[in-house]
Amino acid sequence: MKLKERIQQGDQVFGSLLSLPSPEVADVMSRIGFDWLFFDLEHSVIDYSQAQRMLQAVGDRCPVLIRVSELSEASIKKALDIGSAGVIIPKVNSAQETKNTVRYAKYRPLGDRGVGAARAHGYGIDFQEYIQNANDETLVVVQIEHIEGVNNIEEIVKVEGVDVIFIGPYDLSASLGFPGQVDHPDVLKAISRVEEVTRKSGLALGYFGMTPESVKTAVENGYQLITCGTDTGAIIGHMSTILKELKN
């Protein structure tokens, strides 16, 4: 079953974020059993060529969503053309930005995505099959991670073609003047507003946290697209524990 189908039927799907430009790390992470993986091209040095190698390493073991570096036609087109199951768009603050996201991610008649023959299309071998199914299978995720996006959430959720509203608690906290304080009352109030509006719209909710404890509330509240932990965090955490045990 495609990732988008699982979201539509109400499943909770658990993934983890990768920021290291390493096919080997992607290969290992895809074998652990996550429902999906999050390739971060916004805050990392991963480029599209490296992301494609990572996708090839993952293969068919689990779907991958790519967070692009910015909301632009070229970045969304490339992320989908190399074979991701969908895109995560950072810092979406308005209905117009949401409409642009859908326009770049969907072929006509839903959007105006450019037509090429890249890895997603089997380099042309699977072109017709991909084109026919892409609009139904491509997952479009917009991140609400600024108070401006919170203030415009009622209009954002009305845009046809969006599948998931993904709350970015850390950037949201910074936009409110409390960087890193994701449990600050003002941050929680903003998150609650996004939750309420999104639920009424029928769209799914997504969330990121570094630890299982940090995403526990989101899981209990029915968020579906859950991201927990990072590749670098896993290395730091595990190796720090090993070193501590060696020195004790």
Query: In whole angstroms, what is the distance from residue 226 CA to residue 15 CA?
Result: 6
Sign for the CA dihedral angle at 83, 30, 46, 1 comes to positive
Q: Mapping DSSP to helix (H, G, I), strand (E, B) and coil, where does residue 88 land? A: strand
Give catalytic status of residue 43 as yes or no.
Answer: yes
Distant-in-sequence, close-in-space partners of 203: CB < 8 Å, separation ≥ 6: 157, 162, 163, 164, 165
The crossing angle, in degrees rounded to 10, of helices 95-105 and 73-81 is 40
Burial profile 73-96: b = 16 or more Cβ within 10 angstroms, e = fewer: eebbbbbbbbbbbbbbbbbbbebe
Structure tokens at 144: 């609400």
Query: In whole angstroms, what is the distance from residue 45 CA to residue 194 CA?
Result: 30
Query: Given 43, 121, 146, 184, which residue is catalytic?
Result: 43
By annotation, the residues acting in catalysis are: 43
